[in-house]
Amino acid sequence: MASLEKPPVATTNVKWRFPAVHSEGHKFVAIAAGLTLVGGLIWSVLFWPLVGLTIWVAAFFRDPIRTTPQGEGLIVAPADGLITMIERVPVPRELDGPNGLPGGPLVRVSIFMSVFDVHINRTPIAGTVRQVVYVSGKFLNADLDKASDENERQYFVVEGHDGRRVGFTQIAGLVARRILGFVKPGDIVAAGQRIGLIRFGSRVDVYLPEDHVCQVALGQRSIAGETVLARKGGTSVAGVAQ
C-alpha cells in the first residue's frame, strides 16, 4: 500500500538585512563621510549632525530587494510613495506617436516620493522599452498638477509581450536636480526591474491602459515593484473614478 504521508515542504528562511546602497549614491555617501570627518576635526560640535547627514544620504540611495507579483494583466507601482492623484487626463504629447500610447484621455496615477522614500524607480510591466523622452523644465513642487507639464521630466513607454503599452513619467521636484534613466529604447525589461532614479524628492506618473482598472486609492502608500497598481478587467477600488 502506498504511503499516505505528504512529502515534506521545502522551506527557506528569509532574514532582514540592511538594503544595499545603489552605485549612483556611492560618491555622495563618500562626500558626506568626508565632510563629517573634516567637520569633526575642525569643530567637534559638527560631528554628530554630519554623521546624521551621512546616514540620511546612504538611506536615500538605498536599493532594497523587491518581490514582484506574477500574473497576467498586472501593472505594478514604479515608485515608493504616496498616491496623491488619480484622474483621467489627456495623454502628453511626449507619450504620443507610433511608439507611444493610443490617443484619448487615460487614467493617470501620481505617486509622490518624499526625501525619505526609496528613489529607485522600476518598470510597471515586463516587455520592450519603446520610447524614452527627456524634457528639461522647472523644479516646482511635485505635488502640483502642473508639475506634469512644466517640471524637468523623463517619459517611458514599455510594450508588454501581449501588445499592451504602459507609459510612465519621472518628474523632478523642488529638491530634485537630476533624473537618471537606466534603460534605452529597444531594451527588454522584466516587471519590477530598475529603470532609473531621481535625486532628491519627486514624483512618478503612470498612465493606465483603457482596459485596466485601478487597484489603489488616494492616500495609499505604494511600494515600487510590489504594489499592484492596476489589473486588466476586474473591479476598481471603492472611491476610484475610472
pLDDT at 1: 45
Q: CATH classification of 74-232 is 2.70.70, yes or no? A: yes
Cα 31 vs. chain centroid, distance in angstroms?
26
Annotated active-site residue in 110, 148, 202, 222: 202
Residues of the chain with pLDDT under 50: 1-3, 238-239, 241
pLDDT at 194: 94
Q: Residues for the chain: how many in total?
A: 242
Residue 3 catalytic?
Answer: no
pLDDT at 115: 82
Instruction: Give the CA angle between residues 35, 25, 115 to the nearest 5°.
Output: 85
**Three-class SS of residue 150?**
helix
pLDDT at 175: 61
Q: What secondary structure letter does DSSP report for 138? A: B
Distance CA 17, CA 15 (A): 6
pLDDT at 7: 53
